Amino acid sequence: MLRDTATALSAAGIDNVRFEARLLLGRAAGLSVEQMVARGAEAAPETVVTRLRALTARRVRREPMAYILGEREFWGLPFGVSPAVLVPRPDSETLIEAALVLMSQRERPWRLLDLGVGSGCLLLTLLREYPNATGIGLDVSDAALGVAESNALALGLAGRTRLLRGDWRQPGWERPLSGPFDLIVSNPPYVEASAIDRLMPEVARFEPREALDGGPDGLAAYRRIAAAVAALLAPGGHLLVEAGEGQAIEISRIFEAAGLAVGAPRKDLAGIDRVVHAQQ
């Protein structure tokens, strides 16, 4: 079963096929990797074979593995995901690292805001790291807010989390947020609209387009954030946003034009300027 699954995945142009085949078989059988090794000589029930074929067919169509499994690890924490939210990525952990350096006093009752909360991976991870902090997550999608709420409950953070529906494309979107905030974070849409269909199939076909589409130049969301941030940040507060490759310089200019002091961008593990920091 592992061999046949890996062969099918390889034919679909997928990398790491043996690893992915184990994940799919484990989900189909309801077994951990260790349990599969221990029971590898047993004949697989027909129900497992049927489930594995269905899961493999989904992956062959290039559906993201995280959607098939229903979860993705981020910062060592399990986050439930669905097609309503972006799949959390290791690149975004760079933003968590930057926040922990800038705000090293872990016990303070910081007020946090996540614009475009999605699965909640940024906001909820920060709330785990700052045990006395409270946070608000804003998203335009009711389905995404449902995913974030489920993750907040699963991680024991619902009591310190408030989730709101809001659309930063609309005038006055920032007024219901009741700032000021010590830290605002965001992984906003930053892909040029015309480039989305050229992304890898897992992204272009399956991830929510409204979480990808950054307008004609990919920077529309940053302009809207910059226009509202003065009313949201506390004096000395920090703004951290994720940036696409090659965008950090232009995003910095947008924030500087809004009167913010902009620091050097923080690089991810690939050496890409991934996080832009601005301060009130």
Q: Assign 3-class secondary structure to 148-159.
A: HHHHHHHCCCHH
Report if residue 67 sits inside a domain.
Answer: no
Report if residue 68 sits inside a domain.
Answer: no
pLDDT in the model for residue 13: 95
Number of domains in the chain: 2
Report if residue 52 sits inside a domain.
Answer: yes
Same domain, 43 and 153: no
What is each CA distance from 36 to 24, 25, 41, 48, 52, in whole angstroms? 12, 9, 9, 12, 14
Same domain, 194 and 243: yes
pLDDT in the model for residue 33: 85
Distance CA 117, CA 111 (A): 15
100: number of CA atoms within 13 Å, CB side?
A: 15
Same domain, 126 and 225: yes
- pLDDT (tens, 9 = 90+) of the chain, 280 residues, equals 999 999 999 999 999 999 999 999 999 999 998 898 898 888 999 999 999 999 999 999 999 999 999 999 999 999 999 999 999 999 999 999 999 999 999 999 999 999 999 999 999 999 999 999 999 999 999 999 999 999 999 999 999 999 999 999 898 999 889 889 999 999 999 999 999 999 999 999 999 999 999 999 999 999 999 999 989 999 999 999 999 999 999 999 999 999 999 999 999 999 999 999 999 8
CATH of residue 83's domain is: 3.40.50.150
Q: Which of 12, 37, 61 is a domain's end point?
A: 61
Q: What is the pLDDT of residues 88-115, one digit of tens each?
A: 999 999 999 999 999 999 999 999 999 9
pLDDT in the model for residue 137: 98
Same domain, 55 and 86: no
Report if residue 17 sits inside a domain.
Answer: yes
Q: What is the pLDDT of residues 177-206, one digit of tens each?
A: 988 999 999 999 999 999 999 999 999 999
Amino acid at 48: V
Report if residue 184 sits inside a domain.
Answer: yes
- 134-139 vs 161-165, strand pairing mode: parallel
Residue-number span of the structural domain to which 159 is assigned: 75-279
Q: Which of 61, 83, 108 is a domain's end point?
A: 61
Same domain, 231 and 163: yes
Same domain, 22 and 146: no
Report if residue 203 sits inside a domain.
Answer: yes
Same domain, 223 and 263: yes
pLDDT in the model for residue 115: 98
What is each CA distance from 4 to 8, 23, 51, 59, in whole angstroms? 6, 14, 14, 13
Same domain, 14 and 120: no
Same domain, 163 and 220: yes
Report if residue 69 sits inside a domain.
Answer: no
Same domain, 11 and 133: no
**Cross-strand bridge partners of residue 267:** 273
Same domain, 191 and 53: no
Report if residue 147 sits inside a domain.
Answer: yes
Same domain, 188 and 138: yes
